[in-house]
Amino acid sequence: MRVDDQVLRLFLAGAAAGFGVAWLLIWRRWRGGFVVFGATWAAVAGLIVFNAVVAGEPPLGNMYHVQVFLAACFLPLFGVMAWRGGLAWAGHYFAFASAIPLIGACFMDRDVVWRRMPALQSAWFVPHVTTYMISYSLATVAFVLLVVSLIRRKSLDEADRSRYEAGQYEVLRLAFPLMTFGMLSGALWADAAWGGYWSWDPKETWSLITWMLYLVYFHCRKGGSLRRLTGWAQGLAFAALLTTFLLVNLLPKLASALHSYASPR
């Protein structure tokens, strides 16, 4: 079922544009950037509430719902990282990242009404999906910081390069435990639903690959001869994350039957 699909598409595009404007204003240090960021975030939060009311379920059941939720993660996470991670200077990157999932949602089937399969009506549903989405949001910001630092490599001095590297580390240091909890809670959920903790289906396999590659990133960052591979490790980990989140869900040959937990009503 579609609920005013054209209006919904325009809303998503407008919110993505709002985050884009916030990115530009904050980046250029013009007045009102965080006001635009906050107002656009409030509009997206309102859409999440709307999705929940219409569906009668937590609005995390399909790619449209999840990408709207992702877009709402970045502003609160910026507040956390500015407070505890020293990333107050990176607000425009969080604003930029907020627009990305909304652009993706414009091209998804926007099934507002959906239902869960009986076997998956579990208390693990919300914490499992939510922690994964928060960790993916943080990983996206870290990847944006990596790409910007590589693009601007010749113009950055040593202090700025160190700041970007430290920013990536601080963001991923928060993301990794959440990603770990997401994987472990998924195993507990699978045991309750199907009688086994792990089935090696594509979603589970790629989530494990992603987790292991981020572990490699932390190992490389420890120092020594492997430190020069830190950027490569993070890039490969984020590529695996995109495979886990997008390709496994969207490509028929990689699709995970066990993780197709939402269907239109």
Q: What one-letter code names the amino acid at 64?
A: Y
Identify the residue whose tokens are 């830190």: 230
Cβ-proximal residues to 49 (8 Å cutoff; 6+ apart), any chain: none
Q: Is the pLDDT of residue 2 over 70?
A: no
As a whole number of angstroms, the distance between CA 96 and CA 90 comes to 10
The predicted pLDDT at position 262 comes to 43
What's the pLDDT tens digit per position in 97-117?
A: 999 999 998 888 777 776 766
Q: How far apart are the two ends of the chain, measured CA to CA in Å?
A: 7
User: pLDDT-derived band of residue 181, with 50, 70 and 90 as boundaries?
Assistant: very high
| Stronger pLDDT, 253 or 71, i.e. the higher one | 71
| Whole-model pTM over 0.85 | yes
As a whole number of angstroms, the distance between CA 72 and CA 95 comes to 10
| Stronger pLDDT, 117 or 255, i.e. the higher one | 117
| Stronger pLDDT, 59 or 181, i.e. the higher one | 181
Token digits for 226?
A: 């492997």
The predicted pLDDT at position 251 comes to 65
Q: What percent of the chain has pLDDT over 70?
A: 90
SS3 116: strand
Token digits for 37?
A: 């960021």
225, 166 contact by CB (below 8 A): no
Q: What percent of the chain has pLDDT over 90?
A: 59
Question: What average pLDDT does the structure give for the chain?
Answer: 88
Q: Is the pLDDT of residue 12 over 60?
A: yes
165: how many CB neighbours lie within 10 A of its CB?
Answer: 17
**CA nearest to 14, candidates 35, 33, 39, 32:** 39
Most confident of 93-97, 111-115, 218-222, 253-257: 93-97
Q: Is the pLDDT of residue 265 over 50?
A: no
What's the pLDDT tens digit per position in 65-90?
A: 999 999 999 999 999 999 988 999 99
42, 51 contact by CB (below 8 A): no
Q: Is the pLDDT of residue 198 over 50?
A: yes
User: pLDDT-derived band of residue 121, with 50, 70 and 90 as boundaries?
Assistant: confident
Q: What size, in residues, is the chain?
A: 265
The predicted pLDDT at position 37 comes to 98
